[in-house]
Structure 1
Amino acid sequence: MAIKTPDSASMSGIAVDKILRFHRRVTALLAALLFLAGCAPKPPQVTPSKPQLSRVSWDTLAGAEDDLQLEGLEQALARSLSYFERGGREISFLVEGRKVSADRIRRTLLLLREMLARGELRLPALARRFDLYAYPRQVHSGGNVLVTGYYEPVLEARLEPDHVFRYPLYSPPPDLIQVALEEFPWLSAPETGPRRVLGRIEGNRLVPYFDRRQIDGQGALQGRGLELAWLKDPVDAFILHVQGSGVLRFSDGTTRRVGYAAGNGRPYRSIGAYAIARGWIPREEMSLQTLRRLLKDHPERLQEILWHNPSYVFFRWVEEGPLGSLNVPLTPGRSIAADSAWYPDGVPAVLTGRLPLGDGTHRTRPFQRWVVHQDSGGAIRGPHRVDLYCGTGDAAEAVAGRLKHQGNFYIVLKKIDEPADILD
């Protein structure tokens, strides 16, 4: 389970030059950026210990088919293709010392879709047309990624508060400032790539934005007209923040979808890990379901646990979705969230691991399936984390809430046979 804070186009950041003109304090603002970035102005340096993608034999896989009989894969591939047709993001991703071009990923998707239509997604054909890449396996883990799951909850809501529906969902506040660190290359940490710094202006300084305790506990945003809707359960509101999107059901039976619009820029801290550390839930029993039960049975711990995570999410109304960080609808069982600093956006991949049965127990079964990188998340950082989108509603929660197992993640790229496939 991972908080969904994609670097989405839905959050319109205020350009740095506008900030500078408005506040006219160049030196103070850059000093604040230096402090927040946690690094001194110096040229980027290569980190020798950084893991590298390496080519893997297709024989590593038992087969590229999966138990869903490839259901939803064509749709997921088409949605990534639509992202590249809109222009996508500039690709500057190294594989075997070469930069992967956006067009190579686009043509990988096209070829996979053609082979899928012809029923040719079999190992011999795949090995002839594609290369498989992976980061090294983690020591003592049995895999190269930790696989978790997320889903889209369906929640009762109201457009006006009352004595039951008292917990607001906020739209992005106008004083939330977003600074693109890639505009300041001497501030960006080379091992993580471009990141956003978010905050607010206090006097002539850029300071961190309000955290969860200040917003929910101290009313930092009250009275500003930012409320989109109201929920009746603070735990539901928190889980919606974690999942990043949801369907709201109103008293007349109508529904509307909300999606991620922005975050407060604070680091994500796992309340599950906190509950384990405090001895409230055994590690082997941790799941979204057991966490819900803890919060229900011990309301006196509610604020302590929820406020442990200072990260906060702001929402917007969306017509379709849920939308991932590529601004395309996610496909259940096919879309995954990963760190774009380590995996190219839109790239297809094969994910293996164990999937919960969704029957209320911790029983699992092995799975191996085609997926597409279409989302990101505040807790999904580094090369060894992948979050699988499991769908909408209670059935999806039953799987996603218990999905936390080691697996392997292999990205797929069309073999280099044309100059357009690489960037020198």
Structure 2
Amino acid sequence: MMRGLARLAAAAVLLWVAGMSAAPAQVLAFEELDGWAEDDQREALTAFLETCDKPKAPEWGPLCALAADAGATPESARAFFELFFLPVMIGHPPALFTGYYEPLLDGSPVRTPRFAYPIYARPPELRDGIQFHPRSAIESGILRGRGLELAWLEDPVDVFFLQIQGSGRIRMPNGSVMRVGYAGKNGHPYRSVGSELVRRGTYTADQVSAQTIRGWVKQNPAPGNALLDHNPSYVFFRKLPNLAAHKGPIGALGRSITPMRSLAVDPAYNPLGAPIWIEKNGRDPLRRLMVAQDTGGAIKGAQRADIYFGTGDAAGDAAGIVKDGGRMVVLLPIDLAFATLSDG
């Protein structure tokens, strides 16, 4: 009987996935997830609770209520996910995993000789889905003098990578810290400056990282700034004055994300708020349950994810070298599977 129910649930999940995207899907058993029994799913459960009330499908609500009392031990947390979810691999591995972080940068609330490069608040005339001025025009000063400057940084590379990360902390000369988060972008497509350096023959694909890009731009200021303009996409920020220091930056679901337990994904394939099991290979393999709580301009495809590493330089160093294969498996609610089957 239980095997029959499992087959029905698996069929329903496949129907749901087929309706969500054109990517192929395969239902797995938890025993097929490499390292599943060794992970401490309590940490993932804590991250899941941060946003489990955000998905709109009604099947998530009861799971969110049950999750609040499910994580007393590693075994109970693991049992919660095994009881109420099915592992589904969407798309074809290998996956591509990269990393991101929350920079901690020195800055100033006013322009000074040291701090001369602004980050901007969202212009009121900016409309989602409509192309605004490209990066080159904005960096050339087209918004200057309108009072949109939130803070000033000491290097254009810092501005660029703050935009890539989408959030940050800016340490002011008086010791105070401004938290900033994503407020919108200019509507131009993201273009990778790392890929451009590879195309030019400056580096090979395995040599390119955030650190090598940063170093090359600083060593070659004029061509370096031109390289940054290769990416016409530009991100605007907003102040986050009420975000506690111990909380992570705000993700796409409007809640704080958790170091090493939150992922940025493509929501066309992996629903925001869903737990996702990752098997990242490479120099520092990862086998752990994470939660899809963010998105990114470069994160496209079913087997594509950005791992949130935390705040500061150490997190940035770790995130900047990640470009690894593996696979990712989304956990979908069984109730949602049965509901979909009934609707069909």
TM range (shorter): 0.7 to 0.9
- Aligned partner of 1:61: which letter? L
Determine if contact 1:65/1:121 at 8 Å carries over to the other structure.
no
What is the distance in 2 between the residues matched to 1:106 and 1:117?
Answer: 20
What is the distance in 1 between the residues matched to 2:79 and 2:43?
Answer: 23
Determine if contact 1:157/1:250 at 8 Å carries over to the other structure.
yes
Query: Post-superposition shift, 1:351?
Result: 0.9
CA 1:423–1:228: 2 relative to 1, 3 Å: farther
What is the distance in 2 between the residues matched to 1:107 and 1:421?
Answer: 17
- Which residue is 2:45 aligned to? 74
- Matching of residue 251 in structure 1 with residue 173 in structure 2: yes
| Matched positions, count | 320
- Which residue is 1:360 aligned to? none
- Matching of residue 322 in structure 1 with residue 249 in structure 2: yes
Determine if contact 2:106/2:154 at 8 Å carries over to the other structure.
yes
TM-score (norm 1): 0.70
- Aligned partner of 1:342: which letter? Y
**1:61 pairs with one of 27, 33, 46:** 33
- Which residue is 2:309 aligned to? 390
Identity across the alignment (%): 38
- Aligned partner of 2:301: which letter? G
TM-score (norm 2): 0.85
Q: Relative to structure 2, which stretch is displaced further, 53-62 or 123-132? A: 123-132
Query: Post-superposition shift, 1:103?
Result: 2.7
What stretches of structure 2 of length at least 5 have no aligned partner?
A: 1-17
Question: How far does the alpha carbon of each residue in 1:225-261 deviate from its partner, in whole angstroms, 9 at most, with x for none?
Answer: 1101100100000000000000000111111100001
**2:267 pairs with one of 340, 346, 352:** 340
- Which residue is 2:232 aligned to? 310
Determine if contact 1:65/1:368 at 8 Å carries over to the other structure.
no
- Which residue is 2:143 aligned to? 221
Query: Post-superposition shift, 1:57?
Result: 2.4
| CA RMSD in angstroms, aligned pairs only | 2.5
What stretches of structure 1 of length at least 5 have no aligned partner?
A: 1-45, 91-101, 179-196, 199-207, 356-363
Query: Post-superposition shift, 1:407?
Result: 1.8
- Which residue is 1:235 aligned to? 157
- Which residue is 2:197 aligned to? 275
Query: Post-superposition shift, 1:50?
Result: 2.6
- Aligned partner of 1:211: which letter? P
CA 1:65–1:110: 2 relative to 1, 3 Å: farther
> Quick check: which one's helix share is greater?
2
- Aligned partner of 1:399: which letter? A
What is the distance in 2 between the residues matched to 1:130 and 1:151?
Answer: 29
- Which residue is 2:91 aligned to? 136
- Matching of residue 209 in structure 1 with residue 164 in structure 2: no
What is the distance in 2 between the residues matched to 1:106 and 1:371?
Answer: 19
What is the distance in 2 between the residues matched to 1:211 and 1:172?
Answer: 14
- Aligned partner of 1:295: which letter? V
- Aligned partner of 2:122: which letter? P
What is the distance in 2 between the residues matched to 1:52 and 1:137?
Answer: 8
Question: How far does the alpha carbon of each residue in 1:255-274 deviate from its partner, in whole angstroms, 9 at most, with x for none?
Answer: 11000011111100000111
**2:99 pairs with one of 142, 145, 149:** 149
Determine if contact 2:71/2:77 at 8 Å carries over to the other structure.
no
What is the distance in 1 between the residues matched to 2:74 and 2:209?
Answer: 38
Determine if contact 1:58/1:123 at 8 Å carries over to the other structure.
no
- Which residue is 1:406 aligned to? 325
What is the distance in 2 between the residues matched to 1:417 and 1:267?
Answer: 34
What is the distance in 2 between the residues matched to 1:366 and 1:419?
Answer: 35
CA 1:387–1:109: 2 relative to 1, 3 Å: farther
What is the distance in 1 between the residues matched to 2:178 and 2:273?
Answer: 27
**2:115 pairs with one of 165, 176, 182:** 165
CA 1:119–1:162: 2 relative to 1, 3 Å: closer
